[in-house]
Structure 1
């Protein structure tokens, strides 16, 4: 397809709108690279995919496409032999999980369409996902359970560390040691347990210096008795790192072995995403699938330019070409919508051949052209020293050389930019040549001669854009079959040209020109009235068809319901008959056994059998009676134990409303109102004692005794630094990974000091200011090393 044509028709803006509706980068790539196709079957396939997506959108809403990442770069790293990081593996698992959810969402309906085929191509990655999830936690860390060896190493590390901590506690209770310390606590520096020794006592304290405070007043020294145990921890941690690397290599190998299936899944996901983006664009444009043909036919009702539709102001047009005529000449006033009509026809044709729905009424017909050419707008070339006329002729010459019966050509202001007589003659020659080549042509012009030319030529037709004589403004509506008027004098009057000039201009018009203009105006009014009557009848016919279809559908459903009821009744009756037959046969056997003459059945026995058969009608009637509801008269006393039937939880009645319909139940300290019909009494033995919940709550509370926030408001810088130092040590020992430091805004001096301290802290992985709703510049969030 001609690149210049796609540019002047602004197809790229439609593709950008399509790209914005894609959820994944993979689908956005497809949107950016989408081009019109001239292959009829390919265009039909594309349109069906769009229609299938639109149908699902309308019926089920948007598909679950969030959380699907473009993991292709990660997979490429794995394929190149690199070991993937835990977070990369986690990203793969999450993406494959979301893909699986998309597949389940797609297949839960019984719709068999082109999208279902894509969904079925999403592979089963449950094993890979399970392995990654088993080994890697949500925080991106390799879990202890990843291997027995890793769990063993971490237990040994913890055991040695506990011994070291116990040793440190003993040292902190020893007065001969605490006299050398700034404060009686221990901390971690460079992965080693240290005590905060005052700098002046360095010579009196045996150990290894690992760090010092920012003021230089405190040295962080690893006591000599702990050095050997610290070395042991380091050795175990090195083994731990090797085991983690082995686990990551194993998981990476699993990813590589499943690359083919993963690639298939990603391709299916991106095609589904792309299809649903097309469906969403169709929905937003209120568009429909056009009927394709290869006969050069375009027929549009209430067609809208999509870009104007997005802007909120667009006048729908009715347009046709290739049925009764092959060349359409549009005339009318400037700014009246002639060029917009050209662009609408051209852009909707390109959209259809891209597989996109067109913003027009249902039943639109569009030809699948091999070529579409457009010469629209002023494209004067300064570099090539070409005038506007020369530039247009240069482009048109290329079209003439390539035009055939599979070509659509759009020409704006044909013959303009030169002498009117020569311009008209040249325009006629161009149109006749293109018509002989079999091309379908739409052109706009101001040359009156071309209006008469269209009347005289077979398969040529005039069209015009309407002009409101009351407001002296264009209506942007297209009327086929009637040539347009330029309304130059009327427009000049509206723009403020003196009345005297306007009157003189009208006197200068030839008499036959005035008569022609009046005739055209009369024809235009009559055609508008006829079109309006036609539209009203079509609407009535459409409404009648809709009602007829509704009645047929209602009749079909009634027949189906009737058949269902009859089948169910027949099934129940057959079951009842079989049961009665069985009972009768049992009775007969029993009687034959008891009677001396088995062939003879007394009359009274026969009577009982007849009575048994007479039970069938009552039994059938009984099956249609409604199921009895559970009684709502149950009452509950305050203090009694009850169970909520829906969820099986037991609680104690606190109060009952005045009408007895609702009961307030205490569930371990949480009180809720429950309908009395949903409760059942429970014995005291089966009830859970309230103290168990209290004990559980107490234990949970104790687990979080170390705070995760430090308040430094009103503190001096040196005082704040020492508090932060102690706070971070406690947080590290408690196993916190994220903490908050509240320093306030003020002059920013305290915040800067805290940030400088954090920047040099070996156990701080990173830090950032809190979001505005959590304190903004007055709070810093700190992320600690594991």
Structure 2
């Protein structure tokens, strides 16, 4: 139940319906949009939401649904029901085109059986009766015209007409040529008059030919005559055309008779097309407003995350601006939220956002809120927004408000959502405030849920110590005197009346006079609220700063873990390689010693030969001797500079200097970063650094210079896909979150091929068009998981 009846207009729901209607392809779909109503049946709401969400998924992630023609089959079927009536050639063409669309749609979903269960339910048990198409195809061609061979008689008549027309043309050509040769004709050629082919004759020569004069020129110098011989043939042609029309009606009547048994099925097809057009329009609107499907629960509750007013969102999109998102929760613990704050601070928009999104959900529409939002089902929605004074009903503004409050208090219950703007205004605040407080207390006692906006201090105080009612305020930058449009639940907000008046330029003496007229208690309350706002802003800024620092710490910890893992892995590898190398050295040394001894024994060598063999042995052994490493510590700043290669003295880790900060050095090791004291590093030559480490650093530089944007306009499809694949591989390897692909608009073929190609990668989360003002569907944004 909606109260009052104009609530849909007040909240903008009527405008939402108009925007959805603009996406409909047929009048039937637009009529269905007109019938959209706020429901309170939980299962019905879920069904409509799932249908819209599945269609949105098709539009964004699947091949296009083959929807081409939407004609009003219902009116054609009702016409065909009448005995003796017949459908025209154009009407049969519309039936055929619509059925082709229906069968293509059913085939589309059959190929994806189980993938879109709620949309499949639209045509469950609906057969594909191709016999209807076959019957129509025998009579009507692809252009919607009756086939010349639709019947034997029609074929004979059509042939007779063609033959007679050819004979008539041949005769009139002969007569025209003869008359021209005699100089009887006026300038020009054969012409049509009253649907007849005529010869233009000079008026003075009109008696020289027998025939029927159909017309004459404005000057009277030229007459247009149909020769007697041709006149007879043309009459014959006209008779044949009448006969042909009678035969066509006979054929169409027979075809209509054959179609009549299928009328109930045609009506079912009509219902499917209408529903598809309707759901498609809802899905397209959801894409426009970046809508998602919330979790729907069968309870009077509400939790919106990053919610935005859909109409405001669309307007801001055109202007290139963004809407500040809203986070709000209404449940048994926090039933009514009392929103306060400065004028033009966004209180009313905040409340209307809650009301409109709840209304949209209960009408089966996706909403402009983040996934994870939860919406319940309210049996009643009561709205008091704007001035409803009425001269006819003798109601003032305040009387109209009181009339609504009376209905609210009498009819509201725990399943009711109330939305009241500027609660209590319209009369003397000294009396309006207490009345508003009493109404609020009564509504809270009935467990009513909702949101109200106010400037009254007594309502803020009442909310602060009443269970079930929570204060909230729209944040305000009291330094720059600008609203932040952010809802903060928990504390009331100041109206900033004096501050705003001062910024606007109201004379200081007037401001001082006004301040003196405000009671000390009210002054104290308002000052306290301003101070709270200031503290709240400082806390918010501090929290943001701390979160940023915490993220930085988390990154450093992750890098440290990676570095440790990298060092441990390299250490094991180096030890294993060293052991293998030592083993090989020992084996080679043993072989060398044995060979030397064998040569000495076998040759009975003298002292000189033995000495030579020993020298060779020592030379070979010294090749494997490890030279002691002299550790050089870096002391002065000028000894190290960015780009130098260094080694940590207490390990074999090598890296490149990024920055020198006092006694510390920032070192890059592959794609990791570490900080070390200067005394812990020693400078080494670039050639002594392993190629793998130099390559790793080179890749790090590549990452810094990597651009996640590519322009493939003018490229062949194959070349474009190859270039995009290379960019995609690098982006995935480097951990980039999104890519920007500029492919242009054209016929949309390149855009379609690129999107189909990228869908096969599981790393792709979604793809979106650029904003209309910055390229629209000529640019695709690819978001990676």
Q: Scaled by the length of structure 1, what TM-score is found?
A: 0.63
1:243 and 2:247 are equivalent in the alignment: yes
Distance 1:158 1:477 in 2: 79
Are 2:77 and 2:266, in contact at CA under 8 Å, matched by a contact in 1? no
Are 2:301 and 2:377, in contact at CA under 8 Å, matched by a contact in 1? no
Task: Pick closer, same or farther for the CA change 1:460–1:134 going to 2, 3 Å.
Answer: same
1:109 and 2:118 are equivalent in the alignment: no
Match of 1:97 among 100, 104, 110: 100
Are 1:119 and 1:272, in contact at CA under 8 Å, matched by a contact in 2? no
Partner of 2:24: 22
**Can you list the C-alpha shifts for 1:578-632, whole angstroms capped at 9, x where unaligned?**
xxxxxxxxxxxxxxxxxxxxxxxxxxxxxxxxxxxxxxxxxxxxxxxxxxxxxxx
Distance 1:314 1:380 in 2: 32
1:169 to partner: Cα distance: 5.0
Task: Pick closer, same or farther for the CA change 1:300–1:211 going to 2, 3 Å.
Answer: same
Task: Pick closer, same or farther for the CA change 1:273–1:169 going to 2, 3 Å.
Answer: closer
Partner of 1:745: none
Match of 2:156 among 131, 152, 156: 152
1:35 to partner: Cα distance: 0.5
Partner of 2:327: 318
1:444 to partner: Cα distance: 1.6
Matches within 5 A, 1:495-510: 495-503=504-512, 505-506=514-515
Are 1:123 and 1:262, in contact at CA under 8 Å, matched by a contact in 2? no
Partner of 1:420: 429
Distance 2:258 2:546 in 1: 67
Q: Which stretch of the first structure deviates more once superposed, 88-97 or 224-233?
A: 224-233
Distance 2:469 2:52 in 1: 35
Task: Pick closer, same or farther for the CA change 1:195–1:335 going to 2, 3 Å.
Answer: closer
Partner of 1:649: none
Task: Pick closer, same or farther for the CA change 1:15–1:176 going to 2, 3 Å.
Answer: closer
Task: Pick closer, same or farther for the CA change 1:36–1:173 going to 2, 3 Å.
Answer: closer
1:262 and 2:271 are equivalent in the alignment: no
Q: Secondary structure of 2:393's partner?
A: coil
**Matched positions, count:** 544
1:187 to partner: Cα distance: 5.7
Q: Which stretch of the first structure deviates more once superposed, 498-507 or 390-399?
A: 498-507
Partner of 1:350: 359
1:85 and 2:95 are equivalent in the alignment: no
Q: Secondary structure of 1:47's partner?
A: helix
Task: Pick closer, same or farther for the CA change 1:380–1:409 going to 2, 3 Å.
Answer: same
1:449 and 2:458 are equivalent in the alignment: yes
Match of 2:72 among 70, 79, 93: 70
Task: Pick closer, same or farther for the CA change 1:227–1:315 going to 2, 3 Å.
Answer: closer
Q: Secondary structure of 1:465's partner?
A: strand
Task: Pick closer, same or farther for the CA change 1:10–1:165 going to 2, 3 Å.
Answer: closer
Match of 1:142 among 130, 139, 146: 146
Distance 1:249 1:54 in 2: 43
Distance 1:118 1:221 in 2: 64
Are 2:191 and 2:198, in contact at CA under 8 Å, matched by a contact in 1? yes
**Can you list the C-alpha shifts for 1:154-213, whole angstroms capped at 9, x where unaligned?**
222333443444444554565899454447976665565654444333444333444444
Partner of 1:775: none
1:370 and 2:373 are equivalent in the alignment: no
1:509 to partner: Cα distance: 5.6
Are 1:463 and 1:484, in contact at CA under 8 Å, matched by a contact in 2? yes
Are 1:107 and 1:119, in contact at CA under 8 Å, matched by a contact in 2? no
Q: Secondary structure of 2:6's partner?
A: helix
Q: Secondary structure of 2:414's partner?
A: coil
Are 2:54 and 2:116, in contact at CA under 8 Å, matched by a contact in 1? no
Q: Scaled by the length of structure 2, what TM-score is found?
A: 0.63
1:45 and 2:47 are equivalent in the alignment: yes
**Can you list the C-alpha shifts for 1:8-64, whole angstroms capped at 9, x where unaligned?**
212101111111122222111111110000111111111111221122222126534
Structure 2: runs of 5 or more not aligned: 317-321, 555-715, 719-785
Matches within 5 A, 1:336-735: 336-503=345-512, 505-506=514-515, 513=522, 516-517=525-526, 519-521=528-530, 523-524=532-533, 533=543
Q: Secondary structure of 1:69's partner?
A: coil
Distance 1:342 1:154 in 2: 71
* CA RMSD after TM alignment: 3.3
Partner of 1:128: 132
1:510 to partner: Cα distance: 5.6
Distance 1:387 1:232 in 2: 81
Distance 2:332 2:304 in 1: 12
Matches within 5 A, 1:768-783: none
Distance 2:400 2:94 in 1: 54
Match of 1:271 among 266, 272, 275: 275
Are 1:131 and 1:251, in contact at CA under 8 Å, matched by a contact in 2? yes
Q: Which stretch of the first structure deviates more once superposed, 462-471 or 126-135?
A: 126-135
Q: Secondary structure of 2:471's partner?
A: strand
Structure 1: runs of 5 or more not aligned: 545-672, 676-786
Distance 1:428 1:82 in 2: 69
